[in-house]
A and B are shown apart, each in its own frame.
Chain A
Amino acid sequence: MIEWVGRKTIAGATYLAALATLFSQAVLDLVLPTQQGRRETLRVLVRQILFTGVDALPVTTVIALLLGIIIVTQAGTQLPRLGAGGLVGSIIVVTVIRELGPLITAFIVVGRSGTAIATELGTMSVTGEVVALRLMGISISRFVIMPRMVGMVLSMLCLTLYFDVVAVLGGYLIADAQLTIPFYAFVESVTKALSTTDVLMTAVKGLCFGSAVAAVCCHHGLAVRSSFTEVPQQTTRAMINSFILCLLIDVVVTVPLYL
């Protein structure tokens, strides 16, 4: 048993070290730019932002609206029974802006783009494209990993903030239509509950989740070696590990701040 725990611990630490190496190399490539391949790298980055950020807007809008409606419906019907009808704004801030906004955005990004990155890189590995790039003297870190990582981090940050705004809007729609909470009361309730820390924390979480998801998905994509059957296996691992890592980061960020 102790041996098993020790083995798993070492494996976990090695895995995290590999992610940290991948991430730090990408950061170095970002902050130490060379003229070489700048336009090509920028092209990959723009494509990644379009796919991860812009293309994800419709699905993010729908999920955020529905979530806002669900939460305000529950809060608006239950809280008045406890004499806390004025806390609807707090509930939106606590559940959506602090927690569910960044987390659900991360899950959307993992499901849409994280798996796509893992699959794409896995296929590139099997078909010899990664080796071909190396043989052309093209840095895998600079040309493949860094633009995907930066694109995902920026997209995740923007999508998280967008998700929060749309979810609050969804909450207002139901508050106005069904619960007859007037607009000014709703806005007042939300703004009163919202602090600068909340906004900063949602942004920090967006950045951290984006970095983690990008590193995990690139790592698993490049871990594919020789067979196409490895691609779905590594993609599944990338998805599960991204979810777990996002939740871990959430705990690490949230607990010290709000406990």
Chain B
Amino acid sequence: MSEAALVLEQVRTPMFGSPHHLEVDLRIAAGEFVALVGPSRSGKSLIIELAAGLVSPEAGRVVLLGHEWSGGSESEYNPVRIRVGTVLEQPGLLNNMTLFNNVLLPLRYHRGALSDRSREHAVMAQLERLGLTPMRDRFPAELSHGEVRRGAIARACMLDPEVLLLDDPVAGVDAEMQLVLKAYVEERRADHSLTVVVALRAWSPFIEGADRLVALHDGRVKADGPRDAVAEVVPEALRRYVE
């Protein structure tokens, strides 16, 4: 078995707004593309937050890229976070910056040695790939939800992360751009070993591209495996998320 990029070992933690606890035991190999599917309040976003080190589990341990998230300071976490691109349900583009400057920020902050020209070139390439070039000088408040989300994904990919954690990457994104997003992630995976974990609330093209589906309900994993295998064993209530 290849080296694990993300391990959630015997994790148990309360789910906000639900009487249930999230109880999972997951191991995601480096380079794997995993889609977490299920209805709202099933624990998908919580898994993304646990993986990103934003939430500490009540029990169990979470290890990302060999680093265990447990009681460390932010300065200890930062070297790991630079290797991970995360976009949560709230994309969090900075409202006082244009889209261009938002996507440029990680490079400006972490790759200060790069020339302005090469940074601009890198940002424009990402924006063009995601169909955002005409929006480069707009502020987040002037963009649609889908454009904000695509901008946040572009920003998350600027440092060439080893792991990409995406919470509902297709929310507010039109059907054509969903395909563009999927192709964008697949291209990045082809470029270098990239582990992708996406949480999805409805069927989307990402499900077709995933190596593995994890169907969740009320904080429990109901099915885990390749799409066809999951479609066979998944409970009726979750069938519409995988087919």
Q: Looking at chain A, what size class is its interface with the partner chain?
A: 20 to 34
* Known pairs A135-B81, A137-B81, A137-B82; A37 contacts B88 (CB<8 A): no
User: Beta-carbon contacts of B69-110 to A below 8 Å, as 1s and 0s?
Assistant: 000001101111110101010111111100000000110111
Main secondary structure of the interface of A (DSSP, over half): helix
Most buried by A among B75, B79, B105, B156: B105
B19 lies within 8 A of chain A by Cβ: no
Task: Report B-chain residues with C-beta under 8 Å of the C-beta of A38.
Answer: 112
Give the contacts of A128-155 with B (CB-CB under 8 A).
128-141, 143
* Known pairs A128-B90, A132-B93; A138 contacts B54 (CB<8 A): no
Give the contacts of B39-95 with A (CB-CB under 8 A).
52, 54, 74-75, 77-82, 84, 86, 88, 90-95
Give the B interface residue count (CB, 8 A).
Answer: 29
A35 lies within 8 A of chain B by Cβ: yes
Residue of A whose beta carbon sits closest to that of B49: A131
* Closest CB in chain B relative to A131 CB, distance in Å: 6
B5 lies within 8 A of chain A by Cβ: no
User: Beta-carbon contacts of A193-220 to B below 8 Å, as 1s and 0s?
Assistant: 0000000000000000000000000000
Q: Which of B79, B81, B152 contacts A134 (CB 8 A)?
A: B81
Task: Report B-chain residues with C-beta under 8 Å of the C-beta of A81.
Answer: none
* Known pairs A134-B74, A135-B86; A37 contacts B109 (CB<8 A): yes
| C-alpha gap A37/B78 in the complex (Å) | 13
| C-alpha gap A37/B111 in the complex (Å) | 8
Task: Report B-chain residues with C-beta under 8 Å of the C-beta of A36.
Answer: 109-110, 112
* Known pairs A127-B95, A134-B74; A35 contacts B109 (CB<8 A): no
Residue contact A139 to B88, C-beta cutoff 8 Å: no
Chain A residues at the B interface, C-beta cutoff of 8 Å: 35-40, 120, 123-124, 127-141, 143
Can you list 5 A-B pairs with a CB-CB distance of less than 8 A?
A: A128-B90, A129-B93, A132-B91, A136-B106, A139-B74
